[in-house]
Amino acid sequence: MAARAFLARVRDVVLPPQCLGCRVIVEAPDTLCGTCWAQLRMIGPAVCDACGMPFPFEQDAILCGACIGREPPFARARSAVAYNEGSRDVILAFKHADRPEAATLFARWMAAAAPDLLMDAEIIIPVPLDRRRLFERRYNQAALLAQNLMRLTGIPSRIDDVERIKPSPPRGKRMSPTDRRRNVAGAFRVRTSAKAALRGKNVLVVDDVYTTGATAWAMARCLKRAGVGAVDILTVARVVRD
């Protein structure tokens, strides 16, 4: 990782910076070009107070139907952009390919999208990868986001407090929401050595995409069982049902 970061710096000095989405030349490093920017849909303030689902139109509702039916174990989940054609490529490149530098930009979006969550957060924890996946990808994209948020806000990020004890499904496997829930239920464990530091704390869990909420639910349950005070969730992108 250190060598990789060094090479990325060398490349930035030698070559003009490229758009993180389409790789056209841009003026500053770690940004998007105007075209890629225009395709993003930032998530506005009219969202479900619990799960962060954007409401389709201005309304007085506080919670969405799903959260009224079943209260999430986390307090608030928020995301910066909608996960759609406009954001998919840049996020997948960050997740699966060698674009760790996108974490700088994404962390700025996240900080702008949820200043209230960051105000309350005492500890930032990324969603962990299982060992095999970490080996394949060489970096945990959620941990990179957590580190960049720490750099922006000064809130400590603890990347080894939670481990993934159940392997994640093969990449690209199509899964129903029920499959996702089953796969991720009981997948996380707070390390015994971390429990004292987390007890009673407000924890902000960080990840790249909020898809069905299954991961957010599983992380929040695991942290609450370990004695954490409150859990909020912050992701770069969120799947939005229209």
Q: Which residues bind Zn ion (CB under 5 A)?
A: 19, 21-22, 33, 36, 48, 50-51, 53, 64, 67
Q: Nearer to Zn ion by C-beta: 71 or 98?
A: 71
Q: Nearer to Zn ion by C-beta: 21 or 100?
A: 21
Q: Nearer to Zn ion by C-beta: 161 or 232?
A: 232
Rounded to whole angstroms, what are the CA distances from 235 to 52, 76, 82, 117, 209? 10, 11, 10, 12, 6
Compute the least distance from the CB of residue 68 to Zn ion, in Å.
Answer: 8
* Sequence-separated (6 or more) residues with CB below 8 Å from residue 32: 19, 20, 21, 26, 40, 90, 105
Q: Nearer to Zn ion by C-beta: 51 or 190?
A: 51
* Sequence-separated (6 or more) residues with CB below 8 Å from residue 97: none
26, 89, 157, 131 alpha-carbon torsion, rounded to 10° = -130
Give me 177's structure tokens: 């929401």
**β-strand partners of 40:** none
